[in-house]
Structure 1
Amino acid sequence: MTPYSNYLHFNREQWAALRNKTPLLLLEEELETIKGLNDKLSLPEVEKIYLPLIRLIKMRMQASVHLQAITDDFLNDEPVKKPYIIGLAGSVAAGKSTIARVLQTLLSRGEDHLNVQVVTTDGFLYDKQTLEKNQMMHRKGFPESYDSRKLIDFMRKVKSGVGSVEAPIYSHLTYDIIPDEVDIIHQPDILIVEGINVLQVDKTRHVFVSDFFDFSIFLDAEEQDLKRWYIERFLLLQQTAFQNPMSHFHRYIELSQEEAIQKASELWETINAVNLKENILPTRRRANIILKKGETHQVEKVLYRKF
């Protein structure tokens, strides 16, 4: 079997043609507020790549709602509002947070007025104190650094249609869970679950996060591009967020540009690259859609899983 033979392959123009008449309900100035620190995303890119994806998601969601209705009828169950759950996976620096916000914005607009919420699995990391106590700070982002039981319990409640479910909130500034603060997930029409680990499986468990997904997306790129984007973001943060004395990375603000590049490269090679190869890339072919970015952040290829 050739690599990804169970996927349909589309170039940019082929994929863009599937947009049909899906309207662009997004302004340039709105896109600027959505984009991450060094993400390069334009309105033409949204039109070519993300509007066809919005059309596909809405079509699949309609089919899912119909299937749920006939299943409830067969089982003589009372209908319960359950969210359509989308998993968004990919490496550090791939641009997942930006794409999650773009999808949230586009899906929530239109005549159906869908309630779309986003939750990141960062909130389900063990807190810094726990990671330090167990000497796991250098493994942050690896599967064992997450409270998997808590995350699975959260997913189970949301998928069951529980009225209000609490999700912990993570601060990239302090590099830690924010104590006594939660995000309330209240029966959305769509929930986007974003994180590097969302398609991973754990041989020690019988239930995985992805078991609760109705649709999944993997944001892909070559490792050399991911590393470059990570270093570029590190340099930008050194001049911005790292300047805050509360920042976990405040100690790096006095580094010269050469030293900062060296430090970012070291962090990438010893942590992120290892996690990418061991845990993230192996989950790629579990996704319904793979968006393959090129060196300029543009999506050059779209792969749609047939089975």
Structure 2
Amino acid sequence: MTEAPVLKRAELAAKILASRAAKRPTRFIVAIAGAPAAGKSTLAEALCAEINTLSASELCVVVPMDGFHYDNAILDARGDRARKGAPHTFDAAGFRVLLSRLKQESGDIAIPVFDRSQDLARASAALVTSQHRILLVEGNYVLLDQPVWRDLRQYFDLSLFLDVPFATLEQRLIQRWLDHGADMDAARNRSLSNDIPNALTVTRQSYPADFILQD
């Protein structure tokens, strides 16, 4: 990625609200990209709550990319289970259709949500309602420069990239597998065989964001 302006965490909500006020689309869609374990989901949820506190008229909601994971049965049939989380293990075309609807339609739209406890996506598990005007779309590959994924950029009014040192990412990814019950060797192997390659894909093949947020 080429250099983009660095934005401080404390400035994010105000920047989004100011950009929304300037552009005034029906729905203002913000892309939040970054490597696995960069903290995208945590940031998006906290930022959404902050925006909703600051502005009663500009209701915010989070739209996660992870709801478009292919089911494990499909990954098993394709021999891709070990690569779950790589770009080709998501329904990128389906995600593109959802973003198109969110941008063009103003009514309630159901979205899928990934349930980590069950390791599967639940269809129509959340709603983007007609009152939601600011959408925070978060995911590893929302700015990826690869077929289908690159089509997503047309729907974003603003984009952010979370820049986290690789040493920190590796520690977080290993800890994630430890928290899921893996021993240290298994946690390290799973991180190095899949998670870290995916992180490299994100950092090396994503379009430049409008702003960078450093960890």
Normalised by the length of structure 2, the TM-score is: 0.90
Query: 1:218–1:291: 8 Å Cα contact kept in structure 2?
Result: yes
Query: 1:168–1:183: 8 Å Cα contact kept in structure 2?
Result: yes
Query: 1:170–1:177: 8 Å Cα contact kept in structure 2?
Result: yes
Q: After TM superposition, which residue ranges in structure 1, 4 or more long, deviate above 3 angstroms?
A: 6-9
Matching residue within 77, 80, 87 for 2:31? 87
Report the equivalent of 2:16: 57
Report the equivalent of 2:90: 146
Structure 1 residue 285, shift from structure 2 partner = 5.2
Matching residue within 159, 172, 189 for 1:229? 172
Tell me the secondary structure at the aligned position of residue 204 of structure 2: helix
Give the letter for the 1:263 counterpart.
A
Alignment partners' CA distance in 1, 2:33 and 2:150 = 18
Report 1:165-184 matches (<5 A).
165-178=109-122, 181-184=124-127
Structure 1 residue 283, shift from structure 2 partner = 4.2
Query: 1:128–1:177: 8 Å Cα contact kept in structure 2?
Result: no
Q: 1:121 to 1:234 in 2, by over 3 A?
A: same
Alignment partners' CA distance in 2, 1:94 and 1:152 = 23
Alignment partners' CA distance in 1, 2:110 and 2:57 = 23
Query: 1:88–1:194: 8 Å Cα contact kept in structure 2?
Result: yes
Number of residue pairs matched? 214
Unaligned stretches of 5+ residues in structure 2 = none
Tell me the secondary structure at the aligned position of residue 199 of structure 1: coil
Query: 2:110–2:124: 8 Å Cα contact kept in structure 1?
Result: no
1:7 to 2:4 alignment: yes
Query: 1:235–1:261: 8 Å Cα contact kept in structure 2?
Result: yes
1:131 to 2:75 alignment: yes
Alignment partners' CA distance in 2, 1:198 and 1:149 = 12
Alignment partners' CA distance in 1, 2:56 and 2:136 = 17
Which structure has more RCO (C-alpha within 8 Å, separation ≥ 6)?
A: 2
Unaligned stretches of 5+ residues in structure 1 = 10-14, 16-48, 69-81, 239-251, 253-259, 294-307
Matching residue within 59, 69, 89 for 1:115? 59
Q: 1:56 to 1:181 in 2, by over 3 A?
A: closer
Report 1:261-280 matches (<5 A).
261-277=184-200, 279-280=201-202
Q: 1:168 to 1:86 in 2, by over 3 A?
A: same
Query: 2:5–2:211: 8 Å Cα contact kept in structure 1?
Result: no
Tell me the secondary structure at the aligned position of residue 153 of structure 1: helix
Structure 1 residue 202, shift from structure 2 partner = 2.6
Deviations along 1:169-226, one digit per CA (max 9) or x if unpaired, are 2111121123x542121131101111101111333x4961222111111111111110
Report 1:162-241 matches (<5 A).
162-178=106-122, 181-187=124-130, 188-203=132-147, 205=148, 208-238=151-181
The alignment-based identity, stated in percent, is: 24
Deviations along 1:6-38, one digit per CA (max 9) or x if unpaired, are 5345xxxxx6xxxxxxxxxxxxxxxxxxxxxxx
Normalised by the length of structure 1, the TM-score is: 0.65
Q: 1:8 to 1:89 in 2, by over 3 A?
A: closer
Structure 1 residue 232, shift from structure 2 partner = 2.5
